[in-house]
Structure 1
Amino acid sequence: MAFQTEFEFTLPMGYVDEAGNLHKKGTMRLSTAADEILPLKDPRVQANPAYLTVILLSRVIIKLGSLETISTKTIENLFAADLAHLQDFYVRINENGTAKIKVMCPKCEHVFEHEVEFQGE
């Protein structure tokens, strides 16, 4: 089985581009050390540490709908629910290397992995 480095997601709300087109499905790749370190030198991050999330997501999201590029402006214009969704997705795939989470049956207490479908609400 090959090591998975790219993960598909679906935004709960969706990104609306300048032409009014809605983009919901995308792909995020695993983060590299450079993805997390290099943005720390960016003046926007130094002025506002919260901006790190914007730069980081713009680096690791490799596809969003039919958009040709994903820029910081794209991430800045996401709805808050979509930004939160992507932050959670980023943490899950980069900490676990998978979109699966461990769950326990409340009746028999059997622990198993479940593929989380990031489809929003």
Structure 2
Amino acid sequence: MADCIQEANVYGVKVPGHEGRIGMAAVTLKAGAEFDPIGVFSQVSGYLPAYAWPRFLRIQGFLEMTGTFKQMKVKLVEEGFCPAAVSDPLYFLDEKEKRYVPMTQQIYNSIESKVIKL
């Protein structure tokens, strides 16, 4: 895992106009660490095949757990990756820039209208 990431919860989200689900990860950062968008991209692209890369990242203060210490995903899946609906910082994997970039409404709209291909 990248030096800044403490824990990750990986799941799939529906993207309008696309079949199936696209990979997304909710992550917590190590104490005192800042998110490193280039380092995380480097780690992801160096260790995972392209189809397994999380296209979206959500930075959280903590990951919710069940009573039996399993990571909760249902709420995260329902909330998706729309920056207008999620208050946590969101990032999008930009393959051209080779880094994760902050998710904006403009990027979201471009994904929805298929200007940005996933």
Q: TM-score, normalised by structure 2?
A: 0.27
Larger radius of gyration: 1
More helix, by proportion: 1
Where relative contact order (Cα < 8 A, 6+ residues apart) is larger, the structure is 1
Q: TM-score, normalised by structure 1?
A: 0.27
